[in-house]
Structure 1
């Protein structure tokens, strides 16, 4: 067991590179370009901003895969920090 990994909250460069490669492969398999992913991000934030005050700078949206009965399926994962719920919603 590596004691440094046990006490470190920062992922190793190997793990980061491995995760990036996975994301690239998933995007290639699903033919989703970075431009399309950015458009999805903008659209999602526009809709969510109608109801919630969010931190635009900390938003993280990425493609990943999930394991299902028949294999891996693509998944869109979004981490959107919420500052507060808007009170006067039309």
Structure 2
């Protein structure tokens, strides 16, 4: 489920749109975080990562998902970030 594409206008049938919205609501409800909170996290991640590398901010994908612990298989929330790196900054390599 792509959180940021959720709000974009694309050609999807209403069944799939409703299914994605329900998944989003359930995940956010279980993790007790709002879309605004995720946007704040995204901004913080961009600021920190940008100190060390040039990234494609448009390609940045952050989502909240549910997974299971390896130790006891209990469900936990996970923040997943896909950050396209364009290049390392020269002053951060030293």
TM over 0.5: yes
Superposed CA RMSD in Å reads 2.0
Q: Hey, what's the Cα distance between the residues in 1 that align with 2:91 and 2:51?
A: 10
- Structure 1: which 5+ residue stretches go unaligned? 1-11
CA contact 1:41–1:61 (8 Å) conserved in 2: yes
Aligned residue runs from structure 1 range 12-51, under 5 A? 18=19, 20-51=21-52
Structure 1's consecutive aligned runs of 4 or more residues displaced over 4 angstroms after TM superposition are: 12-20
Which entry has the higher C-alpha Rg, 1 or 2? 1
**Could you tell me how far 1:19 is from its partner in structure 2?**
5.0
Report the number of matched residues: 79
Is contact 1:53-1:86 (8 Å) kept? yes
- Residue 80 of structure 1 is aligned with which of 80, 83, 86? 83
Tell me the TM-score normalised to structure 1 length.
0.74
